[in-house]
Chains A and B, each alone.
Chain A
């Protein structure tokens, strides 16, 4: 009973906030609606018993990715009139995308109701006496070990690539040398100027 109510609550909220993501006029509101959609999707994951995926969805997407996304969108200077002017130009492409997506959904539903694809046989329930996380970890670190490590390497390459592309050393910057700064002692930096004659300034 409570599960059914929770499912419909989360599902409605996901769809509603998804719709509001694209309908909202203000881009910051759009991102916030998107975050709400992520959050409710995590709720749906909990309902099907995938609590590990649900928590990861919140930690990774809501906690890190969406924060950076919001960060960037907040600082953008978006001209709304310019965006609306392009509406007619992008309309055919948008309609094409809608047709493709709708066809895919109809096709998928048809295939699913025809049955017998064998997907149900491939997914096995969590083994007895194992929590969700243990089952996932066992599978990832035994059967899918190489694929898992390869995924990690791909991410590492992406990260290093991003750093290489954006990092450049600029000359003439008065950057601080942390080591030198930490070695500074009061006697190097402070000088007694009590006997300094007034009006002559201090030599540094």
Chain B
């Protein structure tokens, strides 16, 4: 795209690069916000269907415009800042949550060469960006100067740090198999990796347990049900969002669903072939890669909603036990296993 702006429009390299980057960012961020609005609608519909309810069905055809109506409603409300809150941090927290949910999308490949930043540390960048996500919640909880948000912030900090450790090990085993940190490279390594037919790390017997653990860890990392202890409404009112109103609340909401979509995309990219068709067969490549990626993201989002609708919330000690005593040893052992296998077969 830099070439188009620099040469075809005659802008020179610097200006062309700048324009291309801005256009690229807008091309990702704006559709992402639209899809967050629609995915909230989808979440509510799936949840309703599993509870034998109708879900949103009033605004627009089939209630499709419900999220936009909600958005307009929160936009028109008054922003209330508690008098004893730490004003600056209280306002920065939702902005930070929302921004961090957007930045990680820079390295997600949407198709062959369709990526904003094709950097060789793509996966580390994602880890770095997702580890920043906890700050928005901690700052919100502390700045609210209220006990339930504070409890929620402490829970969020412990929960996210715990699961990031095992996510790190899971990603290491993927990186070992792919031989690169670059997201495009990881997808390329999956092309026909099972008998030259199926393109998915997740169906590799050695990586399948990692795929399952990554799916569960990504639910814990985004604080989705059954790990939504940060906003457990029966104990903490609304968790770190308790004191927030209007747009500042909406930013948390958007950021949360943006993170969920990101984790679905990561599941698709790292374990299920990203933009590659599931089977390495020429006619399937007629379908654009972006469609395959979106289909996989939607499948994972359905799983997230399904779990939210059916699984009861974990207790906090169970959550910690799962993270530290089950996932961490297994993923650590699996890194050892995968590297040993590769050492004996690929590199000997």
Interface residues in chain A, defined as those with a beta carbon under 8 Å from any beta carbon in chain B: 1-2, 26, 28-29, 32, 35, 51-52, 55-56, 58-59, 62-64, 67-68, 70-71, 74-75, 131-133, 176, 178
Interface bits B53-86 vs A (CB < 8 Å: 1, else 0): 0000000000000000000000000000000001
B157 in complex: contacting residue of A52, A71, A131, CB < 8 Å: A71
With contact pairs A64-B164, A67-B157 given, residues A59 and B181 touching in the complex (Cβ less than 8 Å): no
The answer to whether A178 and B135 have CB atoms under 8 Å apart is no
B89 at the binding interface (Cβ < 8 Å) = yes
Measured CB to CB, the nearest residue on chain A to B317 is A176
Q: Are A178 and B321 in contact (CB under 8 A)?
A: yes
Beyond contacts A55-B125, A74-B138: 7 other A-B pairs, Cβ-Cβ < 8 A, are: A1-B14, A2-B14, A28-B142, A32-B89, A52-B124, A63-B134, A71-B158
Residues 35-68 of B, flagged 1 when their CB comes within 8 A of A and 0 if not, give 0000000000000000000000000000000000
A71 surroundings in chain B (CB, below 8 A)? 138, 154, 157-158
Q: Are B120 and A58 in contact (CB under 8 A)?
A: no
**Contact flag A67-B161 (CB < 8 Å), given A58-B128, A131-B120:** yes
B164:A133 contact, CB within 8 angstroms:
no
CB–CB B139/A58 < 8 A: no
Please tell me if B132 contacts chain A, counting CB pairs below 8 Å: yes
B127 contacts A by Cβ under 8 Å: yes
Q: Are A63 and B119 neighbours in the complex by a CB distance under 8 Å? A: no
Cβ-defined partner of B161 (8 Å) among A1, A56, A64, A131: A64
> Known contacts being A2-B14, A51-B120, A68-B161, is A133 close to B131, with CB within 8 Å?
no
Listed from nearest, the 9 A-B pairs whose CB atoms lie closest are A63-B131, A55-B124, A58-B128, A131-B120, A59-B128, A51-B121, A55-B121, A71-B157, A55-B128
Closest A residue to B182 by beta carbon equals A131
Mark interface residues in B82-99 (1 if CB within 8 Å of A CB, else 0).
Answer: 000010010000000000
Q: Which residues of A contact B121 (CB under 8 A)?
A: 51-52, 55, 132-133
Q: Are A62 and B131 in contact (CB-based, < 8 A)?
A: yes
B145 to chain A, nearest CB (A): 11
**Closest chain A CB from B332 CB (angstroms):** 12
Instruction: State the Cβ distance, A127 to closest chain B Cβ, in Å.
Output: 14
Q: Are B124 and A56 in contact (CB under 8 A)?
A: yes
**Which residues of A lie under 8 Å from residue B128 when comparing CB positions?**
55, 58-59, 62-63
Number of interface residues of B (CB under 8 A): 31
Shortest Cβ distance from residue B266 to the other chain A in the assembled complex, whole angstroms: 15
Residue with the greatest number of chain A CB neighbours at <10 A, chosen from B127, B128, B134, B321: B128
- Chain B residues lying within 8 Å of A63, measured Cβ to Cβ, are 127-128, 131-132, 134, 161, 164
Distance, CA A59 to CA B131, complexed state (A): 7
A62–B273 CA distance with the chains assembled, in angstroms: 30
Residues of A within 8 A of B321 (CB): 178
Q: Which residues of chain B are within 8 angstroms of A55 by Cβ–Cβ distance? A: 121, 124-125, 127-128
Closest to A70 in B: B138
Q: Name the B residues within 8 Å of A74 (CB-CB).
A: 138, 142, 150, 153-154
A121 to B145, CA, bound (A): 55
**Neighbouring A residues of B139 by C-beta, 8 Å:** 32
Contact across chains for B138 and A67 when beta carbons are under 8 A apart: yes
Chain B proximity of A20: nearest CB distance (Å):
12
Output the least CB separation between A64 and chain B (Å).
6
Q: From residue 1 to 49 of chain B, which have CB atoms closer than 8 A to chain A?
A: 14, 17-18
Which chain B residues border A64 with CB–CB below 8 Å? 131, 161, 164
Rounded to whole Å, the gap between the CB of A166 and the closest CB of chain B is 15
Q: A55-B128, A63-B128 are in contact. Are A133 and B134 (CB under 8 A)?
A: no
